[in-house]
Amino acid sequence: MRLCFRSMVLLLFFATSNTLIAEELPGWGEVIDPVGNCPVDFAEPGISMSVPAGLHDMNPRLQVTNAPRVMQEVDGDFLYEVRVADFPRPQPKTGVEGHQSYIAAGILVWQDDRNLLRWTRTASGEANAVFLSCEQYGQGELIGGGNFPMEDKPITLRLERRKDRLILSATYDNSSWRKVLERRCSLEKELKVGVFGLNVTEKDVEYRFEAPYLLSSK
């Protein structure tokens, strides 16, 4: 069968696009970038995730879950850890599309775009503060979580699933862990877990992640 030049170009374009969408980072997982403008690259000693200005959120209640992420599949109980480098606080009143100036990066547990949990190092321009934040969503609604004080420096986050419980912990020195929160888990057995970064401000943000550790039966 003969293909015209236009058909060959289109086939090459779609093949290349699919390859980019399904990019795998060894030790980290599959890169998922719904907007298509958030590059993820290896950056010693981990990876960098660049999230440009605009709306890159992870909020089912607002029906916006387009933030970039790097995910792995898990089945049943698991433990996931990652170190999140520090990043500058946004300036006040720099949020886009009615948002406050808010950025965050950390762990994402994903069932689908209506059911997820995020555990992040977060910074707010209006509050001029850095803090830990958990948001748990079920059927598109916020069903629990909270904000917790932290020092303005790098931190390692841990999330464990033990049957019907989710346990959220953190440490600065990778030795003295502090349990911050425990939530009931209503998510399915088969999930995805990994890192993500959100940005709803007028300024580009770069996040850096190090030392991912996943213990899972899958």
The confidence score (pLDDT) of residue 217 equals 76
The confidence score (pLDDT) of residue 38 equals 98
Q: Long-range CB contacts (< 8 A, 24+ apart) of 129-132?
A: 129/89, 130/86, 130/89, 132/157, 132/170, 132/180
CATH number of residue 19's parent domain:
2.60.120.200
| pLDDT-based confidence at residue 22 (cuts at 50, 70, 90) | low
Query: Residue 11 belongs to what domain range?
Result: 5-216
The confidence score (pLDDT) of residue 19 equals 33
How many independent structural domains does the chain possess?
1
* pLDDT tens readout for residues 52-110: 999 999 999 999 999 999 999 999 999 999 999 999 999 999 999 999 999 999 999 99
Distance (Å, whole) CA 160 – CA 172: 18
Contacts of 198 (CB under 8 A, 6+ apart): 51, 56, 57, 58, 67, 102, 103, 104, 105
| pLDDT-based confidence at residue 158 (cuts at 50, 70, 90) | very high
The confidence score (pLDDT) of residue 3 equals 36
The confidence score (pLDDT) of residue 12 equals 35
- For the ranges 4-8, 153-157, 168-172, the lowest mean pLDDT is seen at 4-8
Whether pTM exceeds 0.85: yes
